[in-house]
Amino acid sequence: MHFSDDAQERLETIWDTLQENGDNPVLPPQAGTAEELGELIRLGLVKAGKNGLALTPTGREEAALAVRRHRLAERLLADVLATEESIVDERACGLEHALLDGIDESICTLLGHPQFCPHGKPIPPGKCCQEMRASVGRLVAPLCELRPGDSGHIAYIQMNNPQRLQKLMAMGVLPGVSLRVLRDSPSYVFEAGYSQFAVDEEIAADIFVRMGNGGNKH
């Protein structure tokens, strides 16, 4: 579905407010007035009810897609284009509007189906995430899918365990550090910077590597 840039921005705001309000479909006042949401109402994404304005089922789907496009754009800018962190969100606002008609799925596959944006917010999954299609060669892949000899740079680490994450980072396993896989069984042994590390599959699944520097993805 195609709509204006303003409508997409409003869908993103609505999605965030719904998450903050326990996913209640009734829109809070900050989502906008009926006049401001006119385009979304005409498209059948928002409707008026006895309790106020609310998202329709189609509106909920489109809001999730709008947020997905924005957060994938942030990941693309941060992980592939190495955009300065302070302007990632601003640049993503311009780029997200181009990620339509399946382009978002191609970008998602390219990035290895990331679950979180650079700010730690969840990325709503798409069909490609559910099917884990590999029709597009990936630039970014989890360490657990690499093989001995593969190499690249750490793109990001998405684990939800803060203590484990801090421990890895304190040891020098950081985004941007070069990485080369030495062994994938019984544990994943890799070289990062000037040190070697051994991690289990759970941790290896949370370390995402930007492929390159002679590495090959089998």
Reported as a pLDDT band with limits 50, 70 and 90, residue 180 is: very high
Reported as a pLDDT band with limits 50, 70 and 90, residue 218 is: very low
- 38-58 average pLDDT score: 86
Query: How far, in Å, CA of 109 to CA of 205, rounded?
Result: 16
- 70-87 average pLDDT score: 83
Percent of the chain with pLDDT over 70: 90
28 versus 54: the higher-pLDDT residue is 54
Reported as a pLDDT band with limits 50, 70 and 90, residue 201 is: very high
Taking alpha carbons only, the member of 50, 62, 55 closest to residue 32 is 55
Query: Each residue of 117-159: pLDDT tens digit?
Result: 888 889 999 888 877 655 455 688 899 999 999 999 998 887 7
- 204-209 average pLDDT score: 91
- Write down all domains in the chain, each with its CATH number in brackets: 1-138 (1.10.10.10), 140-211 (2.30.30.90)
Query: Each residue of 83-110: pLDDT tens digit?
Result: 788 888 888 887 887 787 678 888 888 8
82 versus 204: the higher-pLDDT residue is 204
Q: How many helices (H) and strands (E) does the chain have?
A: 8, 8
Residue 162 pLDDT: 75
Mean residue pLDDT across the chain: 83
Query: Each residue of 18-27: pLDDT tens digit?
Result: 776 665 667 7
Q: How far is CA 79 from the centre of its chain?
A: 10
Q: Around Cβ 3, how many Cβ atoms within 10 Å?
A: 17
Least confident of 25-39, 132-146, 200-214: 132-146
Alpha helices in 44-112 (DSSP H): 57-75, 88-95, 103-110
Taking alpha carbons only, the member of 112, 108, 27, 34 closest to residue 65 is 108
184 pLDDT exceeds 90? yes
